[in-house]
């Protein structure tokens, strides 16, 4: 009796794992799309779009509070400052415009593939 339960459980886990893998492969590059409905931490990175700056609710080419030793300045929210930007916000949702812009700039998107053809439009008739 124990052997049957164990075998069934292993089979269910394998089936669930395969289902999750199949669904994940249909998202861009296996990654979830950036959305204004999700929350992201400082320096969440999206290839081609950059780093998320939570206090500013957008993505930028350099990490949050990146220090440039040559100029002795810190980068945050698209600006340079003489001191790091201090904020209690380290998790937030991007603005809808920022989320849409990031999705357009992503370089980790793979289009097509088995089971995903209907999701992306190639522009061909």
Do 5 and 61 lie in one domain? The reply is: no
Q: 89 and 38 in one domain?
A: yes
Q: Are 55 and 43 in contact (CB under 8 A)?
A: no
Same domain assignment for residues 77 and 117: no
- Residue 52's nearest CA partner among 100, 93, 3 is 93
- Please give the angle made by the CA atoms of 86, 89 and 95, to the nearest 5 degrees: 120
Q: d(Cα 125, Cα 121) in Å, to the nearest integer?
A: 10
Using CA of residue 109, residue 113, residue 119, residue 120, what is the dihedral sign?
positive
Total domain count, the chain: 2
Instruction: Looking at the structure, tell me whether residues 11 and 39 fall in a common domain.
Output: no
45-65 pLDDT per residue, tens: 999 999 999 999 999 999 999
41 and 73 co-located in one domain: yes
The confidence band for 1, taking pLDDT boundaries of 50, 70 and 90, is low
Listed residue (53, 124, 47, 46) closest to 92, CA to CA? 53
Q: What is the mean pLDDT of the chain?
A: 76
Distance of CA 71 to the CA centre of its chain: 30
Give the confidence band of 32 by pLDDT, cuts at 50, 70, 90.
confident
16 lies in the same domain as 36: no
Q: Which residues of 80-91 are buried (b: 16+ CB within 10 A; e: fewer)?
A: eeeeeeebeeee
| pLDDT band, very low/low/confident/very high, at 80 (cuts 50, 70, 90) | very high
45 shares its domain with 99: yes
The reply to whether 79 and 40 lie within a common domain is yes
What is the pTM for the complete model shown?
0.64
> Which domain range does residue 122 map to?
1-31+113-125
């Amino acid at each position: 009796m124990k052997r049957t339960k164990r075998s069934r459980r292993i089979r269910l886990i394998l089936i669930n794992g395969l289902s999750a893998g199949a669904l994940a492969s249909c998202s861009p590059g296996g990654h979830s799309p950036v959305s204004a409905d999700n929350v992201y931490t400082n320096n969440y990175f999206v290839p081609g779009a950059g780093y998320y700056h939570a206090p500013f609710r957008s993505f930028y080419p350099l990490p949050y509070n990146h220090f440039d030793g040559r100029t002795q300045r810190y980068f945050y929210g698209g600006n340079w400052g003489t001191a790091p930007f201090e904020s209690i916000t380290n998790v937030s949702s991007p603005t809808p415009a920022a989320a849409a812009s990031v999705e357009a700039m992503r370089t980790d998107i793979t289009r097509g593939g088995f089971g995903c053809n209907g999701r992306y439009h190639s522009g061909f008739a």
